Structures are given as structure tokens and as C-alpha cells.
Structure 1
């Protein structure tokens, strides 16, 4: 059997000292995550980041920078995820947006509030990505080269 990592995207969206997060049910557990999800066939990383954020939070966003590429192997299922994490600007909330199945809704939390809810985080990547963002890590979007 060939090892196949899963390509995913996520967005760090900060507004007035609060971060846009998602409250969801994953494997029967109530968790908090960045808006994130799988890349679909034929989709660019940036388009996937916009789509997943809208589907999970009801917010339109515009990616402005790449935060980083992260590798995470989930202890629950042994699946390795390659996460392309973007820094995005919030544009607008979409009234009455239909959210993905399993999504409870969006949350806007400060870094301290996120730390207080550490046991609820879906993975260690939630706080790690926020800390990388707060440290000033940024890469231009043209770092990603995609063919049409």
C-alpha cells in the first residue's frame, strides 16, 4: 500500500485581536479549529481556502499571505495531513449561510481565550499556526506555483 498524505488548507483570520475559528463535531467530539478542509480536484489552494472558510464559518475572506506548510499525523487515525495555512482578511459575513455538516458555527476568540480552551482544540496546529502568525511569519502568495 502506498502512503498518501492528504492536502488541506486552513486560514488564520484576525480582526480586532480576535481569531475566526470553527466550533464543530469531529469523530463524535466537540472541537475548535481554524476554518480548514481538503483541497478538491482541480481547485487552487487559494480558492480552496476561500471556499472552506465560507462553508465552515459563513465568512468571505481574501487570502493575503501564506503562513506556512505544516505536516501533521493525526494520532486517532494515523493519517498525515499537509496543511497549507493562509493569512486572510475578513471581507463580510454572509447572512443565513448554510454551513457544512458537523459545523456548530463560527467563533471569534482572543489568543488568551484559545489558550483557555486548549483541550477543545482539534489539533496542536490550531495554536501553533496562531503563534506563528503572531510572531510575524509571512510568505508571499506567489510562493505557491500552480499550473492551470
Structure 2
């Protein structure tokens, strides 16, 4: 059994819905899995450049972590970027990363957002064990199932 934290930022609930399905699958495999949200002070619609995170999730108690975030303006959502930058250490943690996005092509921000998350996490000592992307078009359930299958064998 692994204690896994799914830390997710979600404005439309798409990214959060992936986290819930992932939690269920990982729990069925015998893991202890908690979902924690990254929320901005004043609500989850960024109104200014001065974004502050409300009650940032503490990652120290988890052996494995999954970070999920939407893509915003072809890049990582600002709230997730700020949250990840505030984490003091991910030393020796197994970390998986996923993003959700609306535009169908990977170069429309998804690859960049994953790269940004990887770079921040690795700079804090994380061992990146998987990445994936869910495009919110076409057969979304098939995309989510593929991510869940991929991540369920990592931990």
C-alpha cells in the first residue's frame, strides 16, 4: 500500500473529475489516496497577477504524488505554477503529472504545461514517474481511461 496524494487545480471540474476516477482505481488496488485541491484566495478565477494559494496542500505525508492541472493560455495554469513553486521539497517522492485541455493538438499548450510542471518538480528533488494529457474533445472517457490505466501501474 502506498499513500498517494492527488493534488489538483480545477476551475471547470474537468481536471478534478479525472482525479476522482484515478482515486477510485488506485484505492481499488489497495492504496490510500487523498485528493486535495489547489484553490486561489478569492476564488478560482484569476483576477490579477498577484495570485495567492488558499490553504496550500501539504505534500510531506505522501509517498507518491499526482499533480493535475488545466492548461491556460498555452501554458501551465498560474495557480498550479505558484503552488508548485511554494513546495519546499519533493525529495525522493514519486511524482506523476497530468494536464487537461480543450484544444486538440499537443503543441497547443499541453506539452509545454507538462514540461513546466516537470521542471519545477525535478528542481525540488522529485522522481517523475509518468506524465499524461487529457484532451477534452472526442472520446474523453477513452482518454481518461488510458491515463488511469497508465498511472495505476506506476504506484
Q: Shared fold by TM > 0.5? A: no
Higher helix share: 2
TM-score category of the 2 structures, normalised to the smaller one: under 0.3
Higher strand share: 1
Which structure is higher in RCO with an 8 Å CA cutoff and minimum separation 6? Answer: 1
For normalisation by structure 1, the TM-score amounts to 0.28
For normalisation by structure 2, the TM-score amounts to 0.27
